[in-house]
Amino acid sequence: MIHYKKRLFLFFLILLSFATAEAKPLDFYFTVKRYLEPTSQENYVEFAYLIPGNIPKYTEVSPDKFQAEVLLVLDFINAKQETVFKHSYVVQSPIYSDNPKSLNNLSDVLNLKMSEDSLELQIQVLDLHDSTAYFTDRISLNQLPQKNRLLSDIALISAKKEGEEGGLFYKAGHIFIPKFINYYPTEMTKLGFYVEAYQRDSAKRCLIKYFISDENNVVIEKYSNFKKLNTQNFDALYSEFDISALPSGNYYVYAELRNEDNALIDRKRMYFQRLNNTEESKLDNVDYYELDVIKNNFAEKYDLRNITHHINALKPIAEGFEKAAIDGAINGQQLYLMHNYFFSFWIKRDSKNPEE
């Protein structure tokens, strides 16, 4: 990857005229995960992204040689709407001859130290050879809390491979390729995920319990397991569930950090959507139990008309399959489910004060 300071000036010139241009969306898939550096205990954000190889525009860089270039700009923004950290660089494709058999995806992972006053991450992406192809998003950030024991975010994984330290997507001894879309069609029968555990008081041994719940936070006990952690200050879990028989629907994969007395210390979850057209996709003879995660649910003060309005208003900032979940909640018109969804939407973005 090559940095171009001159290209930044070009980028901002293009942005000035962007409002008058007919923009078209640039397909840009990304994940944002919060981790701790085990030794320093400093917060950092892992930003991984993928641009399909056939999406950007390729231009001739020498006779019969073609290349695409995409500019990525990341800004950490504080409560005063000030940029406290900026990272930008040009992503270049390989150079291809005319009519290549295939085009590589443009993908990378960036580990960015997160300052204490970082509240939002602004993402701007521009195809440098097509000024109308543009992507932008702005998402909320939260520091991982300063606790003696806690979990990182959960990352959905599309593939696990052997690899060497320093390689792209290397973590905890392996290469973990992120899954950029939280959607599992019929032909995908495995759900893999990765989570890290941090223990400052490492004398006592903890465990991670992990499981799948439905969209109402009802645990499907068939999809449940646990791992005992080592007594060091860092451990990681990669695991897979066989979801070949999991019916179509909206689900969460959960990870819970529990102490030696099985008391809950920390909990993380990650949403995914399943489409299963096989006849065997049913959950017979499976134990369920309700997970107590909805506490102080401020959404319960809204009646059906108001909660419908508020959920519908989430669409402009909803991510990926959240939009499908919003439509499902509105169409279902079940008040308690709509309360829970609205609460869950905001606690995902601000775990300390979702109502604000």
Q: Output the 3-class SS for the chain.
A: CECCHHHHHHHHHHHHHHCCCCCEECCCEEEEEEEECCCCCCEEEEEEEEECCCCCCCEEEECCEEECEEEEEEEEECCCCCEEEEEEEEEECCCEECCCCCCCCEEEEEEEECCCCCCEEEEEEEECCCCCEEEEEEEECCCCCCCCEEECCCEEEEEEEECCCCCCCEECCEEEEECCCCEECCCCCEEEEEEEEEECCCCCCCEEEEEEEECCCEEEEEEEEEEECCCCCEEEEEEEEECCCCCCEEEEEEEEEECCCCCEEEEEEEEEEECCCCCCCCCCCCCEEECCCCCCCHHHHCCHHHHHHHHHCCHHHCCCCHHHHHHHHHHHCCHHHHHHHHHHHHHHHCCCCCCC
Amino acid at 196: E
Q: How far apart are CA 241 and CA 255, in angstroms?
A: 13
Pairing of strands 190-199, 234-242: antiparallel
Q: Tens-of-pLDDT digits for all 356 residues of the chain?
A: 334 444 444 444 444 444 445 667 899 999 999 999 888 888 999 999 999 999 999 999 999 999 999 999 999 998 888 888 899 999 999 999 988 888 999 999 999 988 777 788 999 999 999 989 999 998 888 888 888 899 999 999 999 988 877 778 888 888 999 999 999 999 999 999 999 999 877 667 789 999 999 888 889 888 999 999 887 788 999 999 999 999 998 899 999 999 888 889 999 999 999 999 886 667 765 666 666 655 567 888 888 888 888 998 998 888 766 777 787 777 767 676 788 788 878 877 876 678 88
> Helices 304-312 & 322-332, crossing angle to 10 degrees?
160
Q: pTM value?
A: 0.75
Alpha carbons within 13 angstroms on the beta-carbon side of residue 15 total 13
Inter-residue contact 341 to 348 (CB < 8 Å): no
Sign of CA dihedral 98, 104, 105, 108: negative
Q: How far apart are CA 272 and CA 213, in angstroms?
A: 10
Q: How far apart are CA 349 and CA 119, in angstroms?
A: 10
Q: Phi and psi of 101, rounded to 5°?
A: -70, -35
Inter-residue contact 232 to 172 (CB < 8 Å): no
Q: Phi and psi of 28, rounded to 5°?
A: -140, 115
Amino acid at 15: L
Q: Report which of 164, 170, 18, 4 is spatially closest to residue 92, judged by C-alpha positions.
A: 4
| pLDDT value of residue 75 | 93
Amino acid at 250: N
Pairing of strands 218-228, 207-214: antiparallel
